Amino acid sequence: MSKVRCLTVFLLILVMAGMSLPVSAQGTAGGDNDNKNLITTNPFLLLFSWWNVEYERKLASNSTLGIAASYTSFEDDSDDPFGEKSTYLSGYLIYRFYPSGKAPAGFYFGGRLGMTSVEIEYFEDDTSEKGTAYGFGLDVGYTWLLGAQENFAISVGVGATRLFGGDLEDVISNVQMERLAAPAGPTGGKIVRPSNNQAPTKVAFVQCAGSRDVNHLNYCSGVCCLASLKHAQYVKEQLPDAEVTMYYIDRRTPGRNEDFLLKTTAISGVNLVKGKVGRVEQSNGSLKLHVEDVEKERIIEAEADLVVLATGMVPNAAGDDLAIFTRKDDDGFVLDDLEAAVTVAGVARRPEDVAASVRDATGAAARALVAAGRRA
């Protein structure tokens, strides 16, 4: 972290402490906090260039109303051709309730309502896109007013904000699709667009979303071709008029699964297009896909109102140091360690379907029995 940034943050805190002086002068002497206004910032976020400020004004003895604004930006290495720069700007209206009746001091809880706008700039082709999401959140915390004039405030608190109406709300993952189509899922099994709960008319499946890509997951996630074909069937069973397009680079449907592929593609309204989807963006209430048509070597544009990303499988334990799973491959999948009597089964070992996981588990149990027999 640069010295200049640390110094800037320090000066800003001093300025803000100074700014509260005339405000507290409105209150009566002796530390009474009538008419107290607070201007606060989170210095820890400032150290990471997350600029943030809150203005809170006393409404009544037990409540305050305020506004909060923040700005931050994250940027990949400029020599990364697929890198991007993301900029976030947000503004929120805050209401806080202080049960002690000494607002703005003491314990509080409250809510916030506002919006966050995001801009992403792509280094690859020097383009950018913008989106805005509405949000509401809840906060709890405690504020101490310090000093003879109570003109310095320290506050600790936690909060969470949920964003709604994001421009890309109708872009979901295959796991979300699985839940949407499940009778015990959030919509009782009805496949709808999350943005408006309406049935989609054009559904696009984006294969290898993150997998088989040196910048993300090097490996094939094994089951997503079949999972998307299964989802395409779910869509057509519920919405026979819907148009379904699957954008793929390779189709991994070995053995008898090839029959499943042929059966699905024979359904009228199901199309497979060999193409790599580079970007999805909002366009007049619908979604626009930028697709690299691999065979014709050109970029095409396509429309959809629900996009399902066949996201890759990542092992849960990839970044963790689990006590027994000491041996992992380069991607974080767990390896057998027969010396330590550890034998692995299922997707902890590699991406695979249920049948292969069950076979693995049977093999693992057999190996465990052999090892136990040797030790007896």
For residue 143, give the nearest of 110, 112, 104, 109 by alpha carbon: 104
d(CA 182, CA 190): 8
Nearer to ligand SF4, 211 or 264 (CB): 211
Q: Does 178 bind ligand FAD (CB under 6 A)?
A: yes
Print burial letters for 163-178: b (CB count within 10 Å at least 16), e (below 16): beebbbbbbbebebbb
Spatial contact of 336 and 343, defined as CB atoms under 8 Å apart: yes
Nearer to ligand FAD, 14 or 366 (CB): 366
At residue 298, φ and ψ (nearest 5 deg) are -150, 160
Residue type present at position 350: R
Indicate whether 230 belongs to the interface with ligand FAD (CB under 6 A): yes
Report whether 50 contacts 72 (CB < 8 A): yes
Distance, CA of 43 to CA of 38 (rounded, Å):
15
Using the contact rule CB under 6 A, the part of the chain among 24-32, 63-71, 171-179, 203-211 near ligand FAD is 171-179
Residue with tokens 């890198």: 83
CB nearer to ligand FAD: pick between 62 and 357: 357
Q: Which of 38, 133, 191, 208 binds ligand SF4 (CB under 6 A)?
A: 208
Least distance from ligand SF4 to the Cβ atom of residue 10, Å: 49
Among 289, 308, 310, 314, binds ligand SF4 (CB under 6 A): 310
- Residue from 24, 174, 221, 264 binding ligand SF4 (CB under 6 A): 221
Query: If binding is defined by CB under 6 A, does position 346 make contact with ligand FAD?
Result: yes
Q: Which is nearer to ligand FAD, 117 or 173 (CB)?
A: 173
Binding residues for ligand SF4, total number by CB under 6 A: 12
**What is the C-alpha to C-alpha distance for residues 285 and 343, in angstroms, rounded to an integer?**
50
- Beta-strand ranges (E) seen in 61-164 are 63-75, 84-97, 106-122, 127-146, 152-164
357 forms part of the interface with ligand FAD (CB under 6 A)? yes
As measured in angstroms, the least distance from the Cβ of 2 to ligand SF4 is: 41
Residues that bind ligand SF4 (CB under 6 A): 207-208, 211-212, 220-222, 224-225, 250, 252, 310
Name the residues that contact ligand FAD, by CB under 6 A.
Answer: 174-175, 178, 223, 227, 230, 316, 346-347, 352-355, 357
